[in-house]
């Protein structure tokens, strides 16, 4: 089976997904010093290739794991650090 090198500008479609409200990346000290010199943060979205690429963003809004509307609202407010009484 033949393979070839694929570069990010070769028109290859990539699907990225994730929860950007999750905990920050864990980076060891040696790697952190290296990353501090090259990137604004340890997050993937601060990489130059990410900034230079046009992405179509879709935000999923329906929570399939929770059924209680009050608990769902609490989780959502926690994501934005906006707790109310």
**Domain assignment of residue 52, yes or no:** yes
**Domain assignment of residue 12, yes or no:** no
DSSP 8-state assignment for residue 18: -
Average pLDDT (7-14) is 68
Total domain count for the chain?
1
**Domain assignment of residue 69, yes or no:** yes
**Domain assignment of residue 6, yes or no:** no
Q: How far apart are CA 75 and CA 73, in angstroms?
A: 5
**Domain assignment of residue 1, yes or no:** no
User: Model confidence over 15-73: pLDDT tens digits?
Assistant: 887 777 777 888 888 888 888 888 888 888 888 888 888 888 888 888 888 899 999 88
Residues 46, 40 contacting (CB under 8 angstroms): yes
**Domain assignment of residue 4, yes or no:** no
CA atoms within 13 A on the CB side of 65: 7
**Domain assignment of residue 46, yes or no:** yes
**Domain assignment of residue 9, yes or no:** no
Q: pLDDT value at position 7?
A: 60
Domain that holds residue 64: 29-79
Provide the whole-model pTM. 0.51
Nearest of 50, 46, 2, 1 to residue 27 by alpha carbon:
46
């Amino acid at each position: 089976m033949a393979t070839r090198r694929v570069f990010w500008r070769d028109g290859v479609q990539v699907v990225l997904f994730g929860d950007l409200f999750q905990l920050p990346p864990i980076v060891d000290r040696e790697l952190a010093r290296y990353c501090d010199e090259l990137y604004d943060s340890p997050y993937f979205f601060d990489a130059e290739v990410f900034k230079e690429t046009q992405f179509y963003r879709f935000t999923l809004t329906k929570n399939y794991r929770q059924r209680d509307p009050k608990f769902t609202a609490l989780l959502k407010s926690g994501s934005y650090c906006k707790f109310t009484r």
